[in-house]
Amino acid sequence: MPYQSAVTIRAPLRPGSHDAAVAALAGLQASVTAGGSALSGLDGVHFARFTLLPAVTLPDGTDVAETLLYMADVDGSQRSHLRELACFASAELDTAFGCCLDYPPGSSARERHRWLCHHTLASAAAYVNAVGRSSQEIVDDARLRDALENYLDAHHGELAAASAVEVHRRLRGFVGATASLTFAISEPPAPPLWWRARSKAVLLTVLFLLGLASPLLLIGLPFWLIALRRHERSDVVFTDLPDPAALEQLRAQEDHVAYNPFIAVGSVRPGLFRRITIRAVLGAINLAARHVFNHESLAGVTTIHFARWVYLDDRKRVFFASHYDGSLESYMDDFIDKVAWGLNAVFGNGLGYPRTRWLFLDGARQEELFKNYLRCHQLLTQVTYSAYPDLSASNINNNAQVRLGLTQALDEEEASRWLARL
């Protein structure tokens, strides 16, 4: 079972090419919807998307041109995905990035790969619902569940009076005798040892350095708290309402399949204090996502497949992107109810965010202000692809437990609970 990487590529559009870019991306989305996208042929792609970032003038007066983002959540390394993109998705790349300032259309795979690497952005933090669960594993688990349900339907009469243990035994026998399903009689492999060792080494190194720095951190904490409250009391809060036309466009792209794509971008509040604070917060989130919230829950929110936070424009802006289940309204409510403190810690450093208190309090709890803020900063996703568009995170996790139940003998109570998943 591989590890996952969050791939982000950003490139500026050529002046005057907005309409051409929108048309090109609409064509790509039509190809994805029809099942003809080259993305479906690439190894290990969970989700991929293209999003246009509008031109903007930053608070410090810097003009930023309109840019195109490509984001993907993939199994394995970023490098291998970029290489695959350059070799096997050249037509898609030429169509999407052909409107970008320095893209070399019709070039060799090596030149495309070099260009992609040059325009890649690192994530400040990234979250995976179940670290190490591959795209192929998710698809196979769904296929397994369908096969088990079909078997139960076909043998309902003879199994109706059987015990749960007997039904479980029959299903294990069916899977073992079916060549296309034998993958399910053993547990999925763990992420590679080198990756786990490196991940653990990073964690231990960070903890060691924090331990060394703890005396200084404790001395500096009161001064940081004083500065925090001073900033919070003077923070500018936006009370803008989302544009109705833009809101209608956003709603029109939602709820077509099991998941929805989300992306919002905003400026970091000015000043060194806020820039240092958000870097520390995102560093902590990245560490927690890797080592604590790494199995089907982000601090109690279970509907997110993947998420990432990425710096833009010399760390003056940040975007948050995710793929989640259900409506945006329920998504926002989930966050407010369960992790408002986390929203405040990150987005409280964003310009215009509802005023926080002691970094973690208030903020998102001002529900109307928070939801308007989020909608005002949300962007359209022009192209979205998933290897399993009809599966929610709950479906995926349940299917994984169904597969796991086939790898071992169960007693009557365990077998009954397992059968209830089908």
Q: What is the pLDDT of residues 73-113, one digit of tens each?
A: 999 999 999 999 999 988 889 999 999 999 987 778 999 99
The region of weakest confidence among 67-76, 83-92, 266-275 is: 83-92
58, 90 in Cβ contact below 8 A?
no
Domains in the chain, start-ordered, CATH in brackets? 4-128 (3.30.70.1090), 135-187+392-419 (no CATH)
pLDDT at 1: 46
Instruction: For 273, list phi and psi in degrees, rounded to 5.
Output: -60, -50
- 397-419: pLDDT as tens digits: 999 999 999 999 999 999 999 99
Residues 85, 223: Cα–Cα separation, whole Å? 49
pLDDT at 191: 85
Averaged pLDDT of the chain = 93
pLDDT at 8: 98
- The enclosing H or E element of 337 equals helix 328-347
pLDDT band at 272 (very low <50, low <70, confident <90, very high): very high
- 131-187: pLDDT as tens digits: 889 999 999 999 999 999 999 999 998 898 899 999 999 999 999 999 999 999 888
Residues 14, 12: Cα–Cα separation, whole Å? 7
* pTM of this structure: 0.94
343, 335 in Cβ contact below 8 A?
yes
Residue with token string 């329920």:
330
pLDDT at 32: 94
Residues 85, 103: Cα–Cα separation, whole Å? 14
Calculate mean pLDDT across residues 177-206. Answer: 89
Residues 20, 148: Cα–Cα separation, whole Å? 48
pLDDT band at 299 (very low <50, low <70, confident <90, very high): confident
Percent of the chain with pLDDT over 90: 82
Strand-pair partners of 125: 309
Calculate mean pLDDT across residues 370-393. Answer: 96
- 44-58: pLDDT as tens digits: 999 999 999 999 999
Residues 339, 298: Cα–Cα separation, whole Å? 9
Query: Among 58, 190, 72, 53, which Cα is nearest to 120's?
Result: 72
Distance set, CA 272 to CA 137, 277, 279 (Å): 44, 9, 11
| Token digits of residue 75 | 């199994």
- 239-252: pLDDT as tens digits: 999 999 999 999 99
pLDDT at 265: 97
H-assigned helices in 38-134: 78-88, 90-97, 109-118
Q: How far is CA 403 from the centre of its chain?
A: 24
Calculate mean pLDDT across residues 374-393. Answer: 96
| Token digits of residue 241 | 């309402």
Tell whether the model's pLDDT for residue 2 goes beyond 80: no
Distance set, CA 149 to CA 159, 167, 172, 398 (Å): 13, 12, 13, 14
Counting every residue written for the chain, the total comes to 422
